[in-house]
């Protein structure tokens, strides 16, 4: 079941869905809907509506949530499960306990392994497609603190021996580990987002560095030898 078992223990009691009265103060997006007369769904119909369904069986599932605030406004809310060919799952918008319960059941029934979770709101970040290391690789960009890029595996910071010698380096992974090394090199050559922070999956992390753009261009865009 992978990461999914960790999610339940990380949820605090105050993550329960707010009541419609609480939501009136802006606790959830549903609260921003102008309040019509309270909407209700017959139990049998609600049970049918809340059944998970597939949009693309091997790729994307939809899990309707029993969100009392949204339902009270006549709106269904959803969690999504994105799958890859390894039966690994990426969860999108598992926010409250009522969402987690349905997602856990679906994951267990299909034997998927949860690899991560994404929230599409609240964290003020940008996600960009940055292929090369893998075909679907993405990077995360935080606008705070002069710009911080979280690169995953599409770049590698200085090794420990290099750090011991005071050598600062940001390179691409060795070409044999890349889906398309020339594409990755080209993407880095065209990268012009303002940054002062750099955090890769491997290697040295850099922060508060105004010279990062120059450091990035030093080795990242060199042709493979």
Q: What 8-state DSSP symbol labels residue 120?
A: S
What is the residue whose two structure tokens read 């994307």?
A: 60
Percent of the chain with pLDDT over 90: 58
Domain count, the chain: 2
* Closest listed residue to residue 137, CA positions, set 91, 184, 90: 184
* Domain C-terminal end among 67, 101, 118: 118
Q: Is 168 inside any structural domain?
A: yes
Give yes or no for residue 155 having a pLDDT over 60.
yes
Same domain, 88 and 136: no
5 pLDDT tier (thresholds 50, 70, 90): low
* Domain C-terminal end among 63, 93, 118: 118
What is the residue whose two structure tokens read 């995953």?
A: 152
Per-residue confidence (pLDDT) for residue 123, from 0 to 100: 84
Position with higher pLDDT, 37 vs 185 = 185
Same domain, 74 and 26: yes
Same domain, 98 and 198: no
Neighbours of 89 (CB within 10 A): 25
Same domain, 111 and 198: no
Q: What 8-state DSSP symbol labels residue 84?
A: -
Q: Give residue 166's domain range.
A: 125-219
CA distance 43 to 97: 20
Q: Is 225 inside any structural domain?
A: no
Q: Is 224 inside any structural domain?
A: no
Per-residue confidence (pLDDT) for residue 36, from 0 to 100: 52
Same domain, 141 and 113: no
11 pLDDT tier (thresholds 50, 70, 90): very low
Mean pLDDT of the chain: 84
Same domain, 111 and 131: no
16 is written with which tokens?
């329960």
Per-residue confidence (pLDDT) for residue 57, from 0 to 100: 82
47 is written with which tokens?
């049970």
Same domain, 91 and 196: no
For residue 197, what is the domain's CATH number?
A: 3.60.15.10
Same domain, 96 and 59: yes
């Amino acid at each position: 079941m992978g990461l999914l078992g960790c999610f339940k223990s990380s949820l605090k009691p105050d993550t329960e869905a707010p009541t419609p009265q609480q939501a009136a103060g802006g606790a959830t997006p549903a609260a921003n809907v102008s309040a019509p007369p309270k909407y209700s769904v017959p139990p049998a119909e609600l049970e049918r509506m809340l059944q998970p369904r597939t949009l693309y069986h091997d790729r994307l599932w939809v899990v309707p949530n029993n969100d009392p605030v949204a339902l009270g406004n006549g709106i269904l809310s959803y969690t999504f499960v994105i799958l890859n060919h390894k039966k690994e799952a990426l969860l999108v918008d598992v926010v409250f306990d009522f969402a987690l319960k349905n997602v856990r059941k679906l994951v267990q029934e299909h034997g998927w392994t949860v690899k991560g979770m994404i929230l599409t709101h609240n964290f003020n970040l940008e996600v960009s497609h940055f292929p090369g290391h893998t075909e679907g690789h993405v990077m995360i960009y935080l606008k705070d603190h002069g710009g911080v890029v979280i690169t995953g595996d599409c770049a590698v910071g200085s090794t420990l021996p290099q750090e011991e010698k005071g050598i600062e380096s940001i390179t691409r992974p060795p070409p044999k580990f890349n889906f398309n090394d020339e594409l990755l090199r080209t993407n880095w050559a065209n990268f012009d987002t303002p940054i002062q922070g750099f955090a890769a999956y491997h290697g040295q992390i850099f922060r508060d560095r105004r010279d990062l753009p120059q450091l990035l261009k030093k080795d990242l865009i060199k042709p493979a030898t």
